Amino acid sequence: MRKLCAAALAECGKPAAAFPHIDRALAANGISADLRLELVRGLNDPLAAARLGELLKAEIDVVESRSSAVLDTLISQVRSVVAVKDESEQKTQILSELSRLLDLVAVKLGGELEAPARKRYLDLAVKTCDTLVFIARQRLVDVSGCTDALLNIALTENSAASAALTALRQSLDVPSARQSVLQKLTSETVNARLGAQYARLISNGDDAMLIKLLGLYEAMVQAPEPVENLRKRLLDRARSTEAVQPTNPDSRKTMREALRALLAVLLQTREDHIALLKELLETDYGGNDALGYLMVLKSDRVAILTGAMQPMIEKKPVQLALLVVRLDHSLTQAERDTPEYKAFRASLSAAVRTAIAERIGKALSGAIDDDLKQELTGLAGGPLRDQFVPAAVEQLRKKPEPGDSREVVAEVLISNLRQAHPNKYDDLALKGLEKDAFVKALDDLNARLRNDGYALP
């Protein structure tokens, strides 16, 4: 019954009313471990900070002699108790206890431990780091007091190091903590330790940890090695394989995402950004890297985009257009409304239409195999449909004589229109028509396409 009452108090949603009862019960002697655990779950508001800090200290004092679900729960409860902006003594005590726990774990992990004990300490470190990540992510709580303890975990070779690196990175995003954390991370001693960790990870190929460490360097706006080496690492990948299509500028799950984000903050001039973007676009597989790089840039994106792509429009208009269509969603409305961007899009659209028209013209002049038909179908049904439709009508008008190639292009055009505009082109028939009837059908089609917003001459 007491456990049920404790659970009800913890879940009632009214901390001011429930906490005094929970607090008195926790202060009583002789309560069972199960009851204590239920009561601890009720420490879910800043007004419980003093009690939480006291219990944390008591549990950490005996952590070497016994394991406790209470300690795990207390670490989790820190999220709701300190995730507010204040400089109270109780909050400072709680963060100090978390640092003490991490230091203790680091010492234990540096010695000989049996497997169950090692796992237990690693789990405690991960839970503590994850809690620090959570409260730092709110950008309200200064966790700089935990920096040294987090470094002790981050520079080890275990599963908790990743969580500690994430916590350090997140702590740099807290405005009130950034300078103090950055000062510690860039000190000569710590900088040397981070550099040694980076060299070790590069040599042993531990990409998962390396990505986390690169994220920390990104937040510090500091290079772990010469910038030219980082550029080469990214470009070597862009020359060998296609990157995963970027969708979220905040993602740092692959080495290429981490390298792109780091270079985006390290390169200082517009010319440097343009040079890297051009190199990426000129590689065999650098399209997605170029797109991802533009997505993570913080400023001058339109100028960098146009500076790199404008000279390449005539060379590869279709490839550039497909990238720009995907990038457009990531641009702000202000960026899309700039005269520079509008002029670039207009020139790119004209070049795309010309390139598609040339491709269709060549197709109409010879046999169309399955690969070519698939290419035309992709252009017709993809994001470049607005350029394909006018180009196809224009080329069919130039070569209206019956033939297999004309039938294939007309079929691709009609299928695309029916798919894009359900029920509007179902009565359209171009197949099997003689030359004059085909031209007349195209005239009728032109009027309908203009009504649907296609830019026809």
pLDDT tens digits for range 352-375: 999 999 999 999 998 898 899 999
Count of other CB atoms within 10 angstroms of residue 271: 11
CA distance 449 to 438: 16
* Per-residue pLDDT, 153: 93
Q: Does residue 296 belong to any structural domain of this protein?
A: no
- Report how far apart, in Å, the C-alpha atoms of 25 and of each of 21, 28, 249 are: 6, 5, 48
Structural domain including 429 reads: 347-451
Query: How high is the pLDDT of residue 86?
Result: 61
Instruction: Report how far residue 395's alpha carbon sits from residue 186's, in angstroms, rounded to the nearest whole number.
Output: 63
Q: Which residues contact 242 (CB under 8 A, 6 or more apart)?
A: 285, 287, 288
**pLDDT for the residue 83:** 66
221 found inside a domain: no
Residue 191 CA to residue 80 CA, distance in Å, equals: 33
Q: Is residue 198 domain-resident?
A: no
Question: Is 241 inside any structural domain?
Answer: no
Please tell me the distance from the alpha carbon of residue 34 to that of residue 101, in angstroms, as a whole number: 23
Q: Nearest-CA neighbor of 438 among 407, 408, 405?
A: 407
State how far the Cα of 92 lies from the Cα of 100, in Å rounded to an integer. Answer: 12
pLDDT for the residue 423: 86
In whole angstroms, what is the distance from residue 308 CA to residue 186 CA?
Answer: 34
- 359 within domain boundaries: yes
Identify whether 416 is part of a domain.
yes
Query: What's the confidence (pLDDT) of residue 382?
Result: 87
What's the pLDDT score for residue 261?
Answer: 97
Q: pLDDT digit string (tens) for 426-457?
A: 888 888 899 999 999 999 998 889 888 888 76
Domain count, the chain: 1
Residues of the chain with pLDDT under 70: 83-87, 457
pLDDT given at position 139: 79
372 domain residue, yes or no: yes
Residue 377, domain member (yes or no)? yes
Q: Given this model, what pLDDT does residue 87 score? A: 63
Give the model confidence (pLDDT) of 227-259 as tens digits. 999 999 999 999 999 999 998 999 999 999 999
Q: What is the pLDDT of residue 84?
A: 66
